[in-house]
Structure 1
Amino acid sequence: MEVWLLFIPACLALNLTPGPDIFFILSQALGGRRRAGILAALGLGVSYLGHTLLAVVGLSALVLQSATAFTLIKYAGAAYLLYLGWTSLRHASRLALPAAADTQSDWQIFRRGLTVGMLNPKVALFFLAFLPQFVTSDGGSVPWQLLQLGLVFTLTATLCNGAYGLLGQRLKHSLAGRERFSVYLGRISGGLMMALGARLALTRQ
């Protein structure tokens, strides 16, 4: 239970912070059709599910070969989260909303969201760095823990992205130019990632 009390708020904080995926969703939502943002969010959601499965398979195979190697991966992931957090803190800046997208079919929007997510190496690295931080020695099977964590992250990310898609038009008018809002969210995300990285580096599970 303690893991979930930390993991779910972390997912929400990270997924609500404006980033490339949210900018992509807004670019679709501001194109004129309300459902375009939802379709983009669903496409990204499926890509997150794909990254979850890849992380589970890869990390599970690593565990079977060497528990020490898995521990090293967790520490490498902690260092990566610290780097991401520091970068986010340094570059927290004005929220730059994208221009409206050209008219596309529903399938094209969904497929573009799926492609954007699956072909982004930073997303794959993030899953490999983020999920292992919440694997515990008394939590049962490592693959099962990773799968549960990945599914919950995918669900929260899709809900948050979908909300951005639904509120795209309102966000265009209410968030444009609000530099403090973007900086605040960027600092929350950066601080959270650094805290997660430090948590693993300083403690043993």
Structure 2
Amino acid sequence: MSPEFILTSLIVVASPGTGVLVTLAAGLSRGARAAIVAAFGCTLGIVPHMLAAITGLAALLHASALAFQIIKYAGVAYLLYMAWMTLQERGTLRVEAEGTPRSDAQVIWSAVLVNVLNPKLSIFFFAFLPQFVGATEPQPLRRMLELSLAFMVMTLTVFVLYGVFAAAVRRHVTSRPSVLAWMRRAFAAAFMALGVKLALAER
């Protein structure tokens, strides 16, 4: 695995995006365990895009304006929904006690949707992975799977670090209502901004 692939992947993974926001919000609102679960969900959401790229479906998505638009606007709607729920104190940044029962499946499902409903990820994988598979590679499919799994491991690791850091400062944030209110508005604005950015995205 080339240093170029590792460096490029780390830059992509560490760049602020919806997955990072979801993981940070989980850590701030529900603690380290929820952040790790959210990080796992965000990583799991990469799988459909990875499979699409490997099987060539991403090329079809890139070629089909209708398919791209449907997925894109579903993603936009979900991001705006998350922004609204965050402002209403019922969504991503809803503060809960450490022991408050909450389904891991709910956290994972929300995190998975964030990445699944982003068609740019499929196109990113379609353009990104082949660059690191040599023309003389005897088993290109296996190589793409290895690179994809490495990318997922890096995603999970970086997101867990983000989430655990957020959980570490959780008490300092949640004990100050004014700070929490500001962060809630900031997260909602970030989700809205990402929704607008996705809405303006072209194939």
Q: TM-score range by the shorter chain?
A: 0.5 to 0.7
Is 1:120 aligned with 2:113?
A: no
Return closer, same or farther for 1:59/1:124 CA change in 2, 3 Å cut-off: closer
> Deviation digits for residues 24-80 of structure 1, max 9, x if unmatched?
111111113221111111011111123212211117999xxxxxxxxxxxxxxxxxx
Which residue identity does 1:120 align to in structure 2? N
| Aligned equivalent of 1:101, options 83, 94, 103 | 94
Give the Cα separation in 2 of the matches to 1:12 and 1:112. Answer: 23
Give the Cα separation in 2 of the matches to 1:39 and 1:47. Answer: 12
| Residue 201 (structure 1) aligns with | none
> Deviation digits for residues 136-181 of structure 1, max 9, x if unmatched?
11222222221111111111111111111111144677xx9xxxxx
| Aligned equivalent of 1:110, options 101, 108, 111 | 108
Give the Cα separation in 1 of the matches to 2:15 and 2:54. Answer: 25
| Residue 53 (structure 1) aligns with | 51
| Residue 136 (structure 1) aligns with | 134
Matched residue pairs, number?
138
Which residue identity does 1:151 align to in structure 2? L
1:23 CA drift (Å): 1.0
| Residue 38 (structure 1) aligns with | 36
Return closer, same or farther for 1:6/1:121 CA change in 2, 3 Å cut-off: same
1:99 CA drift (Å): 7.4
| Residue 154 (structure 1) aligns with | 152
Which residue identity does 2:128 align to in structure 1? F
1:70-85 to structure 2, matched below 5 A, reads none
My pick for the range that moved more, 34-43 or 112-121, is 112-121
| Aligned equivalent of 2:21, options 20, 23, 26 | 23
Specify the SS of the correspondent of 2:135: coil
Give the Cα separation in 2 of the matches to 1:101 and 1:140. Answer: 50
Return closer, same or farther for 1:37/1:110 CA change in 2, 3 Å cut-off: same
Runs of 4+ more than 4 Å apart? 59-62, 170-173
Which structure 1 segments of 5+ residues have no match?
63-97, 177-205
Is 1:8 aligned with 2:10?
A: no
1:135 CA drift (Å): 1.6
Identity of aligned residues (%): 33
Specify the SS of the correspondent of 2:29: coil
Return closer, same or farther for 1:38/1:102 CA change in 2, 3 Å cut-off: same
Contact kept in structure 1, 2:58 and 2:123, CA below 8 Å: no
Normalised TM-score (structure 1): 0.58
Contact kept in structure 1, 2:27 and 2:163, CA below 8 Å: yes
| Aligned equivalent of 1:163, options 139, 161, 164 | 161
